[in-house]
Structure 1
Amino acid sequence: MAEREHVISSEIIYKGPIFNIETQLVDLYNGRQSKRDIVRHVPAIAILPFTDADHMILEKQYRAAIGDFILEIPAGKLDDRDFDQPEHAVERELNEELRMTAGVIKRVTGFFETVGFSDAYMHVYVAQDLHAVNEEKQLPRDLGESLDLIIVSFDEMKALFESGKLNDQKTILAFLYWSYLRG
């Protein structure tokens, strides 16, 4: 039977704008003790931006953590502007990254990203009935954010998935959900 660990002590050893790192000392089920390093990450959102039933917008952008470009669906973290409302973050990210607004925003699911060492949680939304945002209403992109927008068909996304060129977990989830919607 799976047993719960019990935290004896914890200490924040790093505080940053997006995540903190906490070190815990825990009692294990077998009477021993162990140390846990946990990344405490702010919640995030991801968006499946459908231009129609057969097309979605992906972003190609450089990601420093992997030192390369990646194809991914739009995403972003919740911050003070969102007041703990993921839907507000969806609207903001659509504007900042795609320069669009959506007539329909619907929550699909949510998931923990890397439970082995982090509490990072991502809310996943579908955005439909997309319309361009007037230039004067466009929000600034994040500092250093540079991306190419690519509209892909379902068949193109399927080919990317089958060839292993989709290697971002939220984007793989987007493809699988899209496949589910298509029956």
Structure 2
Amino acid sequence: MAEREIVIDSEIVYEGPIFSIETQQVTLYNGQQAGRDIVRHVPAIAVIAFTDDDHIIVEKQYRATIGDFILEIPAGKLDERDFDQPEHAVTRELNEELRMTAGSISRVMGFFETVGFSDAYMHIYVARDLQSVAEAEQLPRDLGESLDLVTMSYDEMKALFDTGQLNDQKTIVAFLYWSYLRG
């Protein structure tokens, strides 16, 4: 039977704008003690931006964490304005990254990204009926954000998935959801 650990000590050893690192001492089910390092990350959203039933918009951008370019669906972290209504972040990210607004936005799922060491949680939304945002209404992109927008068909995404070239977790989840929709 799975047993809960009991936290006996906890300390934040790093605190930044997006995440903090907490160290814990815990008592295990057998009475032994162990240490835990936990990344506390702000929640995030990601958007499956449909241009029609057979095409979505993905971004190609450089990610320093992997030292390479990656294809991914638009995403962003929640801030204090969004915690009660993550849809606000969806609207903002569509504007900042795609320069679009959506006629409809709906939440389809959420998941913990890496429970082995982090509490990071991501909400996945679908955006449809996309319209361009007038230049005067465009929000600034995040500092250093440089991306190429790519409209991809379902068949193109499936080819990337089938050959292991689709390797961003949220984008894989989006593709699998899209496959589910297509039945």
Q: Which residue in 2 is equivalent to 1:147?
A: 147
Which string of whole-angstrom CA distances, capped at 9 and with x for unpartnered residues, describes residues 36-93 of structure 1? 0000000000000000000000000000000000000000000134253210000000
| Secondary structure of 2:161 counterpart | helix
Task: Say what the alpha-carbon RMSD is for the aligned residues.
Answer: 0.7
Q: Which residue in 2 is equivalent to 1:43?
A: 43
What is the distance in 1 between the residues matched to 2:24 and 2:138?
Answer: 43
Q: Which residue in 1 is equivalent to 2:165?
A: 165
Q: Which residue in 2 is equivalent to 1:90?
A: 90
What is the distance in 1 between the residues matched to 2:80 and 2:3?
Answer: 36
| Secondary structure of 1:47 counterpart | strand
In the alignment, structure 1 segments of 5+ residues that lack a partner are none
What is the distance in 2 between the residues matched to 1:64 and 1:11?
Answer: 28
**Aligned ranges 1:124-139 → 2 under 5 Å:** 124-139=124-139
What is the distance in 2 between the residues matched to 1:171 and 1:123?
Answer: 12
Aligned residues: 183
1:6 aligns with 2:3: no
TM-score (norm 2): 0.99
Amino acid at match of 1:90: V
Taking every aligned residue pair, what percent have the same amino acid on both sides? 80
| Secondary structure of 2:165 counterpart | coil
User: Which aligned segments of 4 or more residues in structure 1 are displaced greater than 6 angstroms?
Assistant: none
